[in-house]
Structure 1
Amino acid sequence: MNQTIWKLDNTIKHYDWGSIDGITNLFAIPNPTSEPMAEIWMGMHPLGCSLAIDEKLGKIRLDKLIKDNPQQILGNKTFQHFGSLPFLFKILSANKALSIQVHPTLENAKIGFAKENQLDIASDAPNRNYKDPNHKPELIYALTPFKAMRSFRAIDEIIMLFEKIALSDLTIPISQLKNNRHPDQLKHFFEYLLTLPTQTKTALIKQLLMKISTFNDEPYLTIKTLAKDYPDDIGLFMPLLLNVIELKPGQAMFLSAKTPHAYLSGTGLEVMANSDNVLRAGLTHKYIDSLELINNTNFESMALDQLLTKPVIKDNKIDFPVPVDDFKFEIIKSDQNLHCEKVDSAQIVLCLDGEITLSTESQSLTLHKGESALIAYQTDVYHYQGLGVLAKAFD
């Protein structure tokens, strides 16, 4: 294999929650049709596989390139452990909320995938929960102010927020939670909300929006914003249950399996295990399976100051440690000096700013802002030079 670094041509996803100009403003990637440009996928997931630009053969699907050269590209350790590229790297830009969701554990993903296969549910069926047998831990890195909800608030805080709006139909469930401040009781309350009959749910949402109409603080402002896009959705109660957080540019947050969350607005980078398994509870027009989501949710509370991933800074690199083997993530600041980079596994690098040249003894490739490249394990060592910033996903 002569070539070991390939520029990538990536798949763009035009989901309805995407921003029309968020990615264009940051990376000058054109959007001639003015469709929502929600995500750009960098990797080999079958629902959005990148193309590698080969010097001799032109564009090759990344999954085929890796399948034909698995150990040279992945390295023996990754190949033996995962069998393929274990991560998916994305640019994500949200103009409105993504669904309230959780991702299953690896064990539950395997069970759910096999079960739905046995039921002959088509892989692209709208009522399919499990698209693959993999888990989907993920890290989000903010490029702009990035608003999200994640993990349950402290139960005392949840009780206080619900008591402030004093909805008569929730008096008994809140009283039960108040008398038994335990994750199991929080689960019962959460399930009660998600499984309300349509008529009761509609009346309750109407009461909620009426009660908070004069409130001008969080999390009630978030509820009002969500109501513009999802006026009849039970997800409007989630800001009272989940932490609302806004990441500043340069901050990151890791989400393990079973963590309830929703991205609300902003542009960031997302790196995750190579999976598209999503269980949804609200703020969406897609398929909702509340009971499957509840069975895959962690109901332990997390404090707001525990939500961010603490960076480790060393020389010109910022590392965001994650507790999984599927991926790692770094920000690399490049200058006009020639820097040496050791390659221990396949890497995907994205140029966030400036112009950076990657070089080996036989290759040279320049990345401009918004461009990305795959670097094979066989590269062993490469150099980078130029004023700019790289984001690196690897395992």
Structure 2
Amino acid sequence: MPLFKLKNVIQNYSWGSKKSISDLFGVRNAKHEPQAELWMGAHPNGCSKVAETGELLSDVISQDNNAMFGSYTTFRFGELPFLLKVLAAESPLSIQVHPCKEKAQKGFERENKQGIPIQAANRNYKDANHKPEMVYALTFYKAMNGFRPIDDIIALFEQAQIDTLAGEVAALKDQLNTHGLKTFFSAIMSLQGKRKEAALSELYQAQKKPAKTSMARDAMQYSIEFTQHYKDDIGLFAPFMLNTIELAPGEAMFLHSETPHAYVKGTGLEIMASSDNVLRAGLTSKYIDVPELINNTKFTPIDPDNIKLSPILKEGRLSYPIPVDDFGFDILSATDKNQSQFLRSAEILFCIEGRATVTVDDRQLSLKAGESVFISYSSHSYQYQGNGVLARAYN
């Protein structure tokens, strides 16, 4: 079939919201569990199924890759190269980094040779792929993304007056470059024993004092919120080193591989290369491997004014500039007028709100909010109309 609805997997991670996906999209939550992510794609850790037949999407794809993807995507990737998710965070996710492709391949091969099971708690590399990703906010969405400018990091630590870390701050002031930032971040995230206790104790005192700047107030508020979930975690210092950001509904940001980040609260659409590789450094009860995370991190500050993506209006759709070829992301507004879209590979459409019909030749499917369809390359084009908003995932 060139066009079919998907039945998607819900991931019940502890940080997920019990209400957001249900409230937004009517997805039942009979057991009142935290519904953290809804996966749309063919990744083995949460593969979608064909709604009509129950077949795994990966099995359907494998029957004829060329018909599904076209020759270029088949040659370039050999599989569906992206994974689309609804992500609903009620509490903060871990401070994390995703590896670049080369290091993911080497790490995956290394851990295979070591005989570490794929689902083992101490497994860093679940696959051999990189994981750049983009987030499109469906609600107000709080996060951290990339290192702050070094001068801002110094200012925030000095305002907080963490005397235990005065030596590390002084060393960063003497080396205002990527090497100095790497040394500083590594030292903070590797704190142990009495020094860690002392630094956190001073942070708790700083949380009680009024901030002197809006930047310090914002960073401290994030840290206070983290304390409610992960007391005595070194990740409480992360907001002083990483950019904090809040996306309004309809705003988006991109996260490069090797960029430290954390999602804090809110619901959004997340599209990424098809990978489940996560290296963690804090704000989590899961396995932490700080040296491996450091080895997979680029210590280049990001200007906070350049984090949000500015969409480009193309033929009636909003297209987001993505700096990788694994995936693309558009927002389509369905109207009473029938609109056409040509395919360059397989696509997944997800209905964000309202209703829309999607048509390929003589096959027509109606979508309501929370439903999705897969469209194969062999369709060549499709039409859509209605009164809804569709997210378009493609490559």
Same fold (TM over 0.5): yes
C-alpha separation between the residues in 2 aligned to 1:372 and 1:188?
A: 45
Partner SS for 1:190: helix
Q: Which residue is 1:199 aligned to?
A: 194
Q: Which residue is 1:33 aligned to?
A: 31
Moved more, 260-269 or 173-182: 173-182
Deviation of the 1:302 alpha carbon: 1.1
- For residues 100-146 of structure 1, the C-alpha deviation after alignment (integer angstroms, 9 at most, x for no partner) is 00111100000000000110011110000000000000000001110
- For residues 352-379 of structure 1, the C-alpha deviation after alignment (integer angstroms, 9 at most, x for no partner) is 1111111122211111111001000011
Q: Which residue is 1:20 aligned to?
A: 18
Deviation of the 1:337 alpha carbon: 0.8
C-alpha separation between the residues in 2 aligned to 1:394 and 1:167?
A: 47
Deviation of the 1:199 alpha carbon: 3.2
CA contact (8 A) 2:358 2:366 kept: yes
Deviation of the 1:200 alpha carbon: 2.3
CA contact (8 A) 1:316 1:334 kept: no
CA contact (8 A) 2:163 2:199 kept: no
Partner SS for 2:246: strand
> Are residues 1:49 and 2:47 paired?
yes
Q: Which residue is 2:214 aligned to?
A: none
The percentage of aligned residue pairs carrying the same residue is: 45
- For residues 36-85 of structure 1, the C-alpha deviation after alignment (integer angstroms, 9 at most, x for no partner) is 1100000000000000134xxx2110000001121111111111111110
CA contact (8 A) 1:215 1:221 kept: no
Q: Which residue is 2:2 aligned to?
A: 4
- For residues 122-173 of structure 1, the C-alpha deviation after alignment (integer angstroms, 9 at most, x for no partner) is 1110000000000000000001110000111111111111111112211111
CA contact (8 A) 1:15 1:36 kept: yes
Tell me, which stretches of 5 or more residues in structure 1 are unaligned?
none
> Are residues 1:331 and 2:331 paired?
yes
CA contact (8 A) 2:126 2:276 kept: yes
Q: Which residue is 1:149 aligned to?
A: 144
Deviation of the 1:202 alpha carbon: 2.4
Give the count of matched residue pairs: 390
Partner SS for 1:359: strand
Partner SS for 1:60: coil
Q: Which residue is 1:130 aligned to?
A: 125
Deviation of the 1:388 alpha carbon: 0.6
Deviation of the 1:254 alpha carbon: 0.7
TM-score (norm 2): 0.97
Q: Which residue is 2:377 aligned to?
A: 377
C-alpha separation between the residues in 2 aligned to 1:24 and 1:85?
A: 27
Tell me, which stretches of 5 or more residues in structure 2 are unaligned?
212-216
Q: Which residue is 2:90 aligned to?
A: 95
C-alpha separation between the residues in 2 aligned to 1:53 and 1:303?
A: 44
1:188 counterpart (183, 188, 191):
183
Q: Which residue is 2:317 aligned to?
A: 317
TM alignment of 1:204-283, pairs within 5 A: 204-215=199-210, 217-283=217-283
Partner SS for 1:219: helix
Deviation of the 1:266 alpha carbon: 0.4
CA contact (8 A) 1:94 1:267 kept: yes
CA contact (8 A) 1:329 1:391 kept: yes
Kindly report the root-mean-square deviation, in angstroms, between the aligned alpha carbons of the 2 structures.
Answer: 1.0
C-alpha separation between the residues in 2 aligned to 1:222 and 1:53?
A: 41
TM-score (norm 1): 0.97
Deviation of the 1:257 alpha carbon: 0.9
